[in-house]
Amino acid sequence: MFWFVVFLDSRVYKTNVVGTLNMLGLAKRVGARFLLTSTSEVYGDPLQHPQVETYWGNVNPIGVRSCYDEGKRTAETLAMDYHRGANVEVRIARIFNTYGPRMCIDDGRVVSNFVAQALRKEPLTVYGDGKQTRSFQFVSDLVEGLMRLMEGEHVGPFNLGNPGEFTMLELAKVVQETIDPNASIEFRPNTEDDPHKRKPDITKAKELLGWEPKVSLRQGLPLMVKDFRQRVFGDQKEGSSMATTTTKTTSA
């Protein structure tokens, strides 16, 4: 199991680095404009709050999250090297937590976790004391930001995120209000290197891209819940049907 986990982590890093390198090579050959969807994780567990694009971050290079954090940081390095050294047109977006319809139900992200758990009448799992903060942007705001970045003349990097800041307990409360006021909360030990605070400074995006998010968490979450509700209960019905069919086949 240990070696399997290491292998998976190395694939995360390899995808970020080798995948980016391959696509930059393609962009160079065909003269394409290259978009790198980087991440707020490049800031690590930040010592500056909110985070501006000029902040270099506070990342543990050998931690359990480093395969992703450092993979994205290296991808940004490669993009800028190709931009400066090979005149490739690049655009870099640092994407903060994003949510919305059509997300994978069990992808492990906190919003999808909470929504799926509340719909399934399971406890909402909060890691640590729940006081760590994140900022959540609705997917349509992100798409608009990426389009403006690609259509503009500025390389970046640009923070694309919603400056509205919520603790995990506050997020859980919004989910309870939206889905089930009686949903319980279950506390578990915190994960290693979990950032304590995360909030984008989007001044640069406002000034150079004319972009800022429009959808608040309380506006966007019901749209995500509607989609999840259809898929969660649809999957359950399909699963029940499959289970019945399997039972009949086995009995026969």
Asked if the model's pLDDT at residue 19 lies above 90, the reply is yes
Q: Token pair of 71, please?
A: 């993979």
Asked if the model's pLDDT at residue 136 lies above 80, the reply is yes
The pLDDT of residue 192 is 86
The pLDDT of residue 241 is 42
Q: Specify the 3-state DSSP secondary structure of 238.
A: helix
Q: Token pair of 46, please?
A: 């930040």
Which residues are identified as catalytic? 68
Asked if the model's pLDDT at residue 239 lies above 70, the reply is no
**CA 188 from centroid of its chain's CA atoms:** 21
pLDDT tens digits for range 117-135: 999 999 999 999 999 999 9
Tell me the pLDDT band of 235, cut-offs 50, 70 and 90.
low
Asked if the model's pLDDT at residue 249 lies above 50, the reply is no
The pLDDT of residue 10 is 84
Taken in order 167, 172, 175, 176, the sign of the CA dihedral is negative
Asked if the model's pLDDT at residue 222 lies above 50, the reply is yes
Could you tell me what percent of the chain has a pLDDT over 70?
90
Of the candidates 14, 90, 74, 85, which has an alpha carbon nearest to the alpha carbon of residue 39? 74
pLDDT tens digits for range 56-106: 999 999 998 899 999 999 999 999 999 999 999 999 999 999 999 999 998
Asked if the model's pLDDT at residue 148 lies above 70, the reply is yes
Regarding predicted confidence, which is higher, 119 or 244? 119
Q: Are 85 and 46 in contact (CB under 8 A)?
A: no
Q: Are 193 and 65 in contact (CB under 8 A)?
A: yes
Tell me the pLDDT band of 1, cut-offs 50, 70 and 90.
very low
For range 173-194, the mean pLDDT = 94
DSSP, res 58: B
Asked if the model's pLDDT at residue 168 lies above 70, the reply is yes
The pLDDT of residue 237 is 54
For range 33-44, the mean pLDDT = 97
Asked if the model's pLDDT at residue 182 lies above 50, the reply is yes
The pLDDT of residue 236 is 56
For range 31-56, the mean pLDDT = 97
The pTM score is: 0.88
The pLDDT of residue 46 is 96
Asked if the model's pLDDT at residue 189 lies above 60, the reply is yes
Of the candidates 24, 18, 11, 16, which has an alpha carbon nearest to the alpha carbon of residue 41? 16
The phi, psi pair for 84, rounded to 5°, reads -75, -40
The pLDDT of residue 252 is 37
